[in-house]
Amino acid sequence: MARDHCWAGNLRSAVQCSAVLLAVLLVIDWGNDSLTTGRCGLWAGLAALLFVLLFPPRVTAGKGWLSSRGLLPGRRVRTDLLVSVRCLDGVSQRLRLRDALGGRVEIDPQVLVNNPGLWHRLAEDARESVARGSLTCGETVLRRLSERIDRQTARSVFKVSELD
């Protein structure tokens, strides 16, 4: 089974950001002599909301499946039965995977770039979907993502080899 190795660090960052926000708000209120129980609760709620927004989804994959799980119950997609792979642009880029059984998962493509094991598992199963003829939309997206991952890997090799 492959998993996102950066997840624990991202979770730690979410906790730290929320704690720093809470600490700063409490110190400012305390310094202005306006700290009350109600305001303390309000600041704690605001820090909790920030944590919920920053909470990273945990992405795992195995033979024939990929799942993404956040604070709410996770979603799972059969990667050996993919129907479409789309890249959604916006504030943050997302990769939407849909399977023939109606499963749908959205993940950050950077998770695949940072975790070669996850990418390998997805790419292998996607090739199986193409061979079966079920993947009707998304081969170009997967090829571009593969090129991006290859570029990133080459940069990393050059950097470690001090050839950059």
Q: Where are the domains of the chain?
A: 2-54, 60-160
pLDDT at position 108 = 92
Indicate the SS3 state at residue 78.
Answer: coil
| C-alpha 161: how far from chain center | 29
100: confidence class by pLDDT, cuts 50, 70, 90: very high
For 134-164, write each residue's pLDDT tens digit.
888 888 999 998 998 888 888 888 888 887 6
Predicted pLDDT of residue 164:
65
Nearest to 109 by CA among 126, 96, 124: 96
- What's the mean per-residue pLDDT of the chain? 92
- Mean pLDDT, residues 78-102 taken together: 91
Q: How long, in residues, is the chain?
A: 164
The predicted structure's pLDDT at residue 160: 86
CB 54 within 8 A of CB 81: no
Q: What is the pLDDT of residue 93?
A: 87
pLDDT above 90 covers a percentage of the chain that reads 70
Q: pLDDT value at position 30?
A: 94
